Amino acid sequence: MELIQLDDSLRTKALERLTTQTPKDITNKILTTLNSIISYEEKLNKDYSIHSYHLVGDNSDDKIEEANRIISLAMVPLPLDQMHQALHKCTLVMVKPSQETPADVALRIRAIADGLSDFPADIFLHAVDHIAKTKTWFPSLAEYRMAGEYHFKKRKMLYEMMQNSIKRTNLIDFSFAKVQYK
């Protein structure tokens, strides 16, 4: 079992949702939906921030598969050309270094888009919007990542929980197969 590979139709539907809602709303919907499908718990740090998520109890393969589908839909990144457009709009409202040419700006935009390509679409757009509203000078990749990291971290932990469940299932399947062949 792998996390779901999305076809173009599902990817388009996911992007429609992700580009019209805030990361907070999307993540809250994910958590609410997962609570109704699978049993999991939050592991907390000493400061009560979330450290990780872990599956608990007995979750059927069907429930795991449905949870994987939900997480996969919430992790769809914006296509690179749309990322470039959003970053270009963002640069229009900022002061750029005086010696920077349009080619330099385009190269910087491509590098930043590439560096943010792991962000889901809603988190990427949130980060770009935050930067456009709070920064005067053309920001670095690190500033964009910091703007979206809070939302991305939580979503990524949910994604990792599902990946770990798949790895555990594959290990169990493998060890079962090994026992049968003895």
**Exposure letters 92-119 (e unless 16+ CB within 10 A, then b):** eeeeeeeeeeeeebeebbeebbeebeeb
pLDDT at 4: 73
The H or E element containing residue 7 is none
Please write the tens of the pLDDT for every residue from 138-166. Answer: 899 999 999 999 999 999 999 999 988 76
pLDDT at 121 over 70: yes
Q: Output 175 or 170, whichever has higher pLDDT.
A: 170
55-59, 116-120, 128-132, 151-155: the lowest-pLDDT one: 55-59
